[in-house]
């Protein structure tokens, strides 16, 4: 899990650097092609095209594909203009959004303590956002929207537990490639040989990171490995400072600590319920969504 989170963070930093020169569409296109090349043997092992066509709940699959494509587009668009640590902090609030949406949309029971943690988590997001005329910029709204779409994506992924990982990966990666192929010609910049390799590397690293996260969830209980996902904010802060000169602001540090604390509390409460037989936890959904979306 630690290796997977490190690779995800490194991949995000590389993507941020690339979108400074190339459009989000081009990054989506090249990363998806590279990921599909590596993914092809796994799809073939699990039944190939016939296996993909037999995936359960096709309309839910389609909704998940649309959400995943929007989310990755929002992410790359926002990191083009915002510090990496800022964007990743918004995304770490995903489990908090999921907990709230589970109660409001799915009518799942949320006790008073978890509602308190959800509200505290939202306070952390507000502290990071630091609402003012100067901070409420379009990129900030895009990042917030992307993190919310990621939360909805987790809820939809919950409905597809029986779908093989390779199928989920193939659907989302193919959709991102198609979206990139349609829109990339409008902002095309012919990449150098080096940048072509880096654009492809984004997809390769993301796929390897996904496999690491997925493998960790199979080797150990979620309660052991999932909390390590919060190391992402440490890597994002480090890479942002080293590669882009973005020093974390005090409000970001305070807000991130609050969000992580609220997320861990929700995680621990849900683990307690899971032991009592209540089923899959939000934390497990986060890990599974990450492992099924390069």
pLDDT at 283: 55
* For residue 274, pLDDT beyond 90: no
pLDDT at 48: 80
Q: Which of 69, 89, 88 is nearest to 29 (CA)?
A: 69
Q: Which of 176, 184, 187, 216 is nearest to 34 (CA)?
A: 176
Q: pLDDT class for 217, splitting at 50, 70, 90?
A: confident
pLDDT at 279: 54
Could you tell me if 61 and 228 are in contact, meaning their C-beta atoms sit under 8 angstroms apart? Answer: no
More confident residue, 140 or 291: 140
User: pLDDT tens across 247-272, in order?
Assistant: 888 888 898 999 989 888 888 877 77
Q: Which of 61, 153, 162, 155 is nearest to 103 (CA)?
A: 155
* For residue 3, pLDDT beyond 80: yes
Could you tell me if 99 and 282 are in contact, meaning their C-beta atoms sit under 8 angstroms apart? Answer: yes
Q: pLDDT class for 223, splitting at 50, 70, 90?
A: low
Rounded CA separation 98/153 (Å) = 9
The proportion of the chain whose per-residue pLDDT surpasses 90, expressed as a percent, equals: 33
pLDDT at 137: 81
User: Which residue is listed with tokens 């096709």?
Assistant: 58
Low-confidence winner among 99-103, 188-192, 223-227 (lowest mean pLDDT): 223-227
Low-confidence winner among 35-49, 70-84, 190-204, 271-285 (lowest mean pLDDT): 271-285
Number of residues in the chain: 294
Task: Provide CB contacts within 8 A for 274, sequence distance 6+.
Answer: 280, 281
Please give the mean pLDDT across all residues of the chain. 84
User: pLDDT tens across 118-150, in order?
Assistant: 899 889 888 887 766 556 788 888 998 999 998
User: pLDDT tens across 152-204, in order?
Assistant: 888 888 777 777 878 888 888 999 999 999 999 999 999 999 999 999 999 99
Q: Which of 247, 230, 249, 229 is nearest to 238 (CA)?
A: 247
* For residue 230, pLDDT beyond 90: no
More confident residue, 209 or 274: 209
* For residue 2, pLDDT beyond 80: yes
User: Which residue is listed with tokens 């092992």?
Assistant: 45
Q: Which of 61, 17, 287, 23 is nearest to 180 (CA)?
A: 23
């Amino acid at each position: 899990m630690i290796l997977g989170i490190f690779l995800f963070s490194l991949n995000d930093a590389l993507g941020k650097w690339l979108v400074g020169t190339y459009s989000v569409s081009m990054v989506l296109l090249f990363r998806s092609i590279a990921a599909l090349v590596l993914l092809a043997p796994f799809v073939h092992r699990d039944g190939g095209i016939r296996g993909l066509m037999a995936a359960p709940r096709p309309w839910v699959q389609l909704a998940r594909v649309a959400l995943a494509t929007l989310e990755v587009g929002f992410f790359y668009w926002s990191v083009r203009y915002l510090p990496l640590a800022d964007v990743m902090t918004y995304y770490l609030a995903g489990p908090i959004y999921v907990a709230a949406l589970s109660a409001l949309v799915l009518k799942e029971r949320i006790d008073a303590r978890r509602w308190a943690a959800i509200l505290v988590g939202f306070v952390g997001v507000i502290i990071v956002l630091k609402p003012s005329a100067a901070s409420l910029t379009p990129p900030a709204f895009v990042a917030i929207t992307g993190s919310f779409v990621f939360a909805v994506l987790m809820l939809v992924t919950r409905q597809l537990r029986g779908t093989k990982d390779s199928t989920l990966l193939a659907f989302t990666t193919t959709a991102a490639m198609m979206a990139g192929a349609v829109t990339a010609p409008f902002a095309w910049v012919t990449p150098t040989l080096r940048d072509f390799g880096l654009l492809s590397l984004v997809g390769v690293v993301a796929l390897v990171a996904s496999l690491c996260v997925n493998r960790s969830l199979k080797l150990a209980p979620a309660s052991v490995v999932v909390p390590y996902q919060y190391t992402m904010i440490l890597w994002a802060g480090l890479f942002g400072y080293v590669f882009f000169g973005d020093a974390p602001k005090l409000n970001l540090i305070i807000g991130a600590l609050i969000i992580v604390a609220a997320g861990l509390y929700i995680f621990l409460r849900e683990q307690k319920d899971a032991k009592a037989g209540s089923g899959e936890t939000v934390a497990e959904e986060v890990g599974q969504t990450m492992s099924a979306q390069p």
